[in-house]
Amino acid sequence: MSARKNIPVEVMTPETKCGFCTNTSCCTYISQEIDTPRSKEDFDFLLWQISHRDIRVYKDEGSWYLLAENACTHIQADGSCAIYDDRPQICRDYSNDYCEFDEPAEEGFELYFKDYGELLVYLKKRFKRWGQRPY
């Protein structure tokens, strides 16, 4: 994640690839696995969470996640990392082998809800009597 930007690059290699990446996508969100929602109560709670700004919900390889689309505060104007030498382990472990530079991550998700409305449409299909409280 976010190595050096504006370095002279002739060919794209694993070492120079991040220098070609203009929006540093991998540093602009966090995602957190959550318990698989099953009941109406579970999804009602998810609806509340996704009602908040920049929160998405997705399912990938059978697991559910909350995604917060908030950029890391350490991204500098040129896209590099202000704390590169002290960056957290998760940043060190991230491989640029096949990353968001190659394809937006959401294109591989089983399910992806960008907002309250999209999740609500899904719930009305999944539960015949969605919305009839109490659940």
Residue 72 as a binder of ligand SF4 (CB under 6 A): the answer is yes
Lay out the site mask for ligand SF4 across 86-125 (x = CB under 6 A, - = otherwise).
Answer: -x---x----x--xxx------------------------
* DSSP 8-state secondary structure symbol assigned to residue 79: S
Our CB check for ligand SF4 shows the closer of 66 and 120 to be: 66
Rg of the chain (C-alpha set): 18
Question: In angstroms, rounded to a whole number, what is the distance separating the alpha carbons of residues 94 and 53?
Answer: 26
Closest approach of ligand SF4 to the CB of residue 47, in Å: 28
Residue 84: C-alpha distances to residues 9, 18, 35, 99, 101 (Å): 20, 13, 32, 19, 19
Site residues, ligand SF4 (CB under 6 A): 1-2, 17-18, 21, 24-27, 72, 74-75, 81, 83, 87, 91, 96, 99-101
